[in-house]
Amino acid sequence: MSKQEQMQATLDALTRAIPGMKGSFLCTFDGMPVCQSITDPGVDSARVAAMAATALGVGRRITETLSTGTLRGIKLVAAEGRIFIYMVGSKACLALVAPSDTNVGLIELEVADVITQLTAIL
Amino acid sequence: MTPLKIVISGPVGAGKTTFIRSVSQTEVVSTEEVSTERIGKTHTTVALDFGQIALGDYVLHLFGTPGQSRFDYMWDVLSEGALGLIVLVPCDAPNEFPQARRILEFVISRQPVEFIIGLTRTDLAADGWTAAEVAAYFGVPEQQVLALNPRDAAHARHAIHQLLQRV
């Protein structure tokens, strides 16, 4: 399997594992989309990629300035959904768009595995 | 006194981050990440640059935007409540002029801010576009286009000064 296929399979499995997930997205630190697994066709992957990079970029400056160690991720809590953005190694961002009643514990467990898998692939 | 907000925008590689770093009197907050695209340099701004300068009685907050269109929401976010805009344009990359125009129109259509165009890299390119030619391209009077070196703090301060005269 090519790297692309491996990443696709990993993201597809993640999107399937979490009920109601709208999509999972892998992108570069400068906001370019790499791979995505989407159940909601209304979500614009290119937009998500750019915004995830911006959010993590700002997050990293905040954690550096406040000396809280290396940033691992960001959570956006909104009225109609939750968005989780994680660092994957030192090159990529993983963004998840989930419903607001999503099982956060399950997401944390699944994402930990996914980050390990994606880091090995990249 | 309330600080005044100035936005520095323009296409990738025009010198926005450099401009703010040259002129800021406080440590600049930048959000540069490794660029996966070939843009002539290793890093690119993914969120914003923030710097501060005191000019006369005024404290100015300087916000630099990313240049790529995929970050256009930052042009919007950062321009909110801005007093003025400096659009940096590289004189030797006319292929970037449409992007500069896109950014200018994007910001001005959402809030009517005063702006000047800062023409950069005039010290690096022997046959780059002149201020007069760039003014004609953007359809503005020549006084609204200033050749400047973003590495030179005095140039940058002068540009901000010129912008403030228009406000």
Give the pLDDT confidence score for residue A91 in this predicted structure.
84
ipTM reported for the complex, 2 dp: 0.88
pTM of the model: 0.92
Domains in chain B, number: 1
The stretches in chain B having pLDDT less than 70 are: none
The predicted-structure confidence for B121-138, as pLDDT tens digits, reads as follows: 999 988 899 999 999 999
Domain that holds residue B18: 4-166
In chain B, residues with a C-beta closer than 8 Å to the C-beta of A28 are 36
**A25, A30, A60: best mutation site toward chain B, by most B Cβ within 10 Å?**
A30
Percentage of chain B surpassing pLDDT 70?
Answer: 100
The CATH code that applies to domain A3-121 is 3.30.450.30
Average pLDDT over residues A113-120: 95
Give the pLDDT confidence score for residue A90 in this predicted structure.
84
- Which member of A30, A51, A61 has the closest CB to residue B34? A30
In chain A, residues with a C-beta closer than 8 Å to the C-beta of B29 are 61, 65
Kindly state whether B76 is in contact with chain A, defined as any CB-CB distance less than 8 angstroms: no
Which CATH number is B53's domain given?
Answer: 3.40.50.300
Give the pLDDT confidence score for residue B5 in this predicted structure.
96
Kindly state whether A93 is in contact with chain B, defined as any CB-CB distance less than 8 angstroms: no
Give the pLDDT confidence score for residue B46 in this predicted structure.
96
Cα(B49)–Cα(B18) distance, integer angstroms: 10
Region of B81 please: left (phi>0), alpha (psi -120 to 50) or beta.
left
Token pair for B16: 């926005």
Cα(B97)–Cα(A68) distance, integer angstroms: 42
Percentage of chain A surpassing pLDDT 70?
Answer: 100
To 5 degrees, how large is the angle CA B107–CA B39–CA B148?
60
Of A56, A58, A55, A52, the C-alpha closest to A36 is A52
Of A108, A81, A79, A78, the C-alpha closest to A94 is A108
Give the pLDDT confidence score for residue A43 in this predicted structure.
86
All residues at 6 or more sequence positions from A10 whose CB lies less than 8 Å from its CB, including other chains: A114, A117, A118, A121
Give the pLDDT confidence score for residue B102 in this predicted structure.
97
Find out whether B19 and B90 touch, Cβ atoms under 8 Å: no
Cα(B116)–Cα(B164) distance, integer angstroms: 10
pLDDT tier at A40 (50, 70, 90 boundaries)?
confident
- Which member of A31, A57, A65 has the closest CB to residue B70? A31
The predicted-structure confidence for A97-108, as pLDDT tens digits, reads as follows: 999 999 999 999
Do B46 and A29 count as a contact with CB atoms less than 8 A apart?
yes
Give the pLDDT confidence score for residue B1 in this predicted structure.
72
Do A53 and B68 count as a contact with CB atoms less than 8 A apart?
no
Domain ranges of chain A: 3-121
**A25, A32, A47, A54: best mutation site toward chain B, by most B Cβ within 10 Å?**
A54
Percentage of chain A surpassing pLDDT 90?
Answer: 92
